[in-house]
């Protein structure tokens, strides 16, 4: 748009307009809160033993990694005006598959790779089933993935026979707990996934097509966009990325906790996506925003625990955040805000969320 200012002031204006800017602000605020309780909260040390940075910030990055992965998949699904409620359950399925496999496999690198491959394959298949139910059968996305969300945990229980299976495999453990350039491997991997998926959708025409079917499925179909194929792909990607997240979540402790692994993480993913400025109605999406959202959620989780609140209470905070965000996105509140400041340039929302 022509009303964009140039120079640093214009750049700043542009940044403030992006919704995830406020996500960054929230992260900073949360860190400040922690800082007031413990002035050394932000300090980062160096652990010579394993060549790693240590500190609360590093912990946050590590915790953010699985959320980043599922948020990226969720972001694409939401852009098609769908939803994937099964991400948490796919995580536990992937964890169960890998642990059950490793428990019987030798402690070798090959064993780790085989477990990883098998877990990811199963996750992608679950995602594909979601995709088939949504695009071929034509069920509402939330109902197909809700069934998968509840049945998925059952499937994981059947896989492990109701046990919390543990296994030993050093290579497998390294990907979750290891460090590279002083940073956790998981975080670097999550970052790589974000960049890869980002390049994939923005350098190809995938992004445009996903947005088109999210905004207007009928018009997109008549324009020749292959809706069915895209939906299958998007749900499969979401399943696959949840699988990756699930493997890491279990690999860090080398145990799959049937009832807790990935539990309620679908809310984290949805929240991260919404914080990032992608509307739940579908259409324009923003992967960078979803990543910022994931980091914010990890920070929130850590802060709540740090402040001495039970970690099982965090869902309540997240629910409040998502309600507030939904309110901000609703037309009613927008109108109210708009009438308050009728003067001044009207920011175009579409511009603001374009990645």
- Nearer CB in complex with other proteins: 177/314: 314
Establish if 326 lies at the interface with other proteins (CB under 8 A): yes
Integer Cα distance of 128 and 299 in angstroms: 32
Chain residues 273-302 in contact with other proteins, contact rule CB under 8 A: 280-281, 283-284
Establish if 337 lies at the interface with other proteins (CB under 8 A): no
Establish if 153 lies at the interface with other proteins (CB under 8 A): yes
- Nearer CB in complex with other proteins: 189/237: 237
Establish if 316 lies at the interface with other proteins (CB under 8 A): yes
DSSP string, 107-173: SSHHHHHHHHHHHHHHHHHHHHHHHIIIIII---HHHHHHHHHHHHHHHHHHHHTTS--B---HHHH
DSSP string, 173-222: HHHHH-EETBEEHHHHHHHHHHHHHHHHHHHSSHHHHHHHHHH-HHHHHH
Establish if 203 lies at the interface with other proteins (CB under 8 A): yes
Chain residues 24-43 in contact with other proteins, contact rule CB under 8 A: none
Establish if 150 lies at the interface with other proteins (CB under 8 A): yes
Establish if 6 lies at the interface with other proteins (CB under 8 A): no
Establish if 339 lies at the interface with other proteins (CB under 8 A): no
Chain residues 243-272 in contact with other proteins, contact rule CB under 8 A: 264, 267, 270
Stretch that binds other proteins, among 15-23, 90-98, 172-180, 216-224 (CB under 8 A): 216-224
263, 91 Cβ separation under 8 angstroms: no
Establish if 218 lies at the interface with other proteins (CB under 8 A): yes
Pattern 108-147, other proteins, x by CB under 8 A: -------------------------x---xxxx-xxx-xx
Cα torsion through 299, 76, 208, 82, rounded to 10: -130
Kindly give the interhelix angle for 314-329 and 265-275, rounded to the nearest 10 degrees: 30
């Amino acid at each position: 748009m022509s009303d964009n200012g140039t120079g640093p002031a214009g750049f700043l204006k542009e940044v403030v307009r992006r919704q995830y800017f406020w996500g960054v602000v929230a992260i900073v605020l949360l860190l400040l809160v922690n800082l007031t309780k413990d002035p050394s909260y932000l300090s980062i040390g160096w652990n010579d033993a394993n060549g790693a940075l240590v500190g609360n910030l590093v912990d946050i990055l590590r915790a953010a990694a699985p959320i980043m992965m599922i948020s990226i998949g969720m972001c694409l699904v939401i852009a098609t005006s769908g939803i994937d409620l099964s991400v948490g359950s796919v995580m536990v399925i992937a964890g169960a598959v890998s642990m059950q496999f490793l428990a019987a496999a030798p402690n070798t690198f090959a064993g780790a790779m085989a477990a990883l491959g098998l877990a990811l394959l199963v996750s992608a298949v679950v995602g594909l089933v979601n995709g088939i139910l949504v695009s071929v059968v034509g069920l509402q996305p939330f109902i197909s993935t809700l069934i998968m969300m509840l049945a998925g945990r059952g499937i994981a229980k059947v896989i492990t026979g109701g046990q919390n299976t543990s296994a030993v495999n050093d290579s497998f453990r390294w990907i979750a707990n290891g460090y590279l350039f002083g940073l956790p491997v998981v975080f670097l991997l999550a970052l790589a996934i974000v960049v890869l998926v980002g390049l994939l959708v923005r350098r190809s025409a995938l992004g445009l097509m996903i947005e088109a079917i999210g905004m207007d499925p009928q018009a997109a179909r008549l324009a020749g966009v292959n809706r069915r194929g895209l939906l299958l792909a998007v749900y499969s990607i979401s399943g696959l990325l949840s699988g990756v997240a699930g493997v890491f979540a279990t690999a860090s402790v080398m145990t799959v906790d049937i009832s807790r692994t990935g539990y309620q993480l679908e809310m984290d993913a949805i929240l991260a996506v919404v914080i990032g400025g992608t509307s739940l109605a579908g259409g324009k999406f923003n992967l960078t925003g979803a990543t910022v959202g994931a980091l914010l959620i990890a920070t929130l989780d850590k802060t709540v625990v740090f402040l001495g609140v039970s970690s099982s209470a965090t869902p309540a905070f997240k629910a409040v955040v998502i309600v507030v965000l939904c309110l901000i996105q609703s037309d009613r509140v927008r109108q109210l805000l708009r009438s308050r400041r009728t003067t001044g340039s009207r920011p175009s929302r579409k511009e603001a969320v374009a990645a």
